[in-house]
Amino acid sequence: MNVLAIGAHFDDIELGCGGTLAKHVASGDNVYAYVATLSGFTNHNNIEIRSNDTATKEGENAMAILGVKLIKGSFKTLQIEFTDDLNLEIIKIIEDKKIDLVYTHWIGDIHHDHQAVSRSSLHSCRHVPRLLMYRSNWYHSNIDFRGNFYVDISDFWEVKKLSIEAHVSEMNRTGSKWIAFFHNEAINAGQRIDVDKAEVFEVVKWLN
């Protein structure tokens, strides 16, 4: 099976579905990750928090840990939009790699870049038979995430954790908050399906 994970920034995919991707790799699937933006950013005081070069190097390291083939986009952070430029880039990947299953951002995510990438994924993946949406942050939204598809990642939590920790600049900025949050999420999701740890997704479509 050919699998594609789509994310706006380096670290989104690792946070949202890193364990599931590692499980696909272990099962022998061809797994690709498309990260749309350069992923560097500055804060509200115009101070650089993460450079594009740093984000790229950390993202490459993270995907190597997961065993995923990385495809890098060149859109600017916080300036990505639901446009044909993005749509065509995703469509080209899907056709070139003959993608069977896509993981992408949840459409209800309030982050501007995440929402734009999600909308583009829903449009561009209309001929892909299986499409699941993941959450990659803890931000509140005005709609609920309807997690209704679970993947047991009990044997893959540690590799997911290592891929997140590969983003050293983000770990320095946030401390252990991301790790703690997604560790708790994995435990809670696991309890619902009677396994140690799981990732949960919202199904858009699942055709057999």
Q: What is the DSSP letter of 159?
A: H
Q: What stretch of H or E contains 18? A: helix 12-26
Secondary structure (3-state) at 98: coil
Joined together, the tokens standing for residue 41 give 């950013």
Query: What was the pLDDT predicted at 50?
Result: 78
**CATH homologous superfamily for 2-206?**
LmbE-like (3.40.50.10320)
- CA 86 to chain CA mean position, Å: 16
Other residues' Cβ atoms within 10 Å of the Cβ of residue 25: 18
Listed by start position, the domains of the chain span 2-206
Nearest one of 3, 36, 7, 1 to 131, comparing CA atoms: 3
Alpha-carbon span 72 to 15, nearest angstrom: 18
pLDDT tens for the chain, 208 residues: list them: 999 999 999 999 999 999 999 999 999 999 999 999 998 767 777 777 678 899 899 999 999 999 999 999 999 988 899 999 999 999 999 999 999 999 999 999 999 999 999 999 999 999 999 999 999 998 899 999 999 999 999 999 999 999 999 999 888 888 788 899 999 999 999 999 999 999 999 999 999 8
Count of all residues that appear for the chain in the document: 208
Which residue is associated with the tokens 């600049």?
169
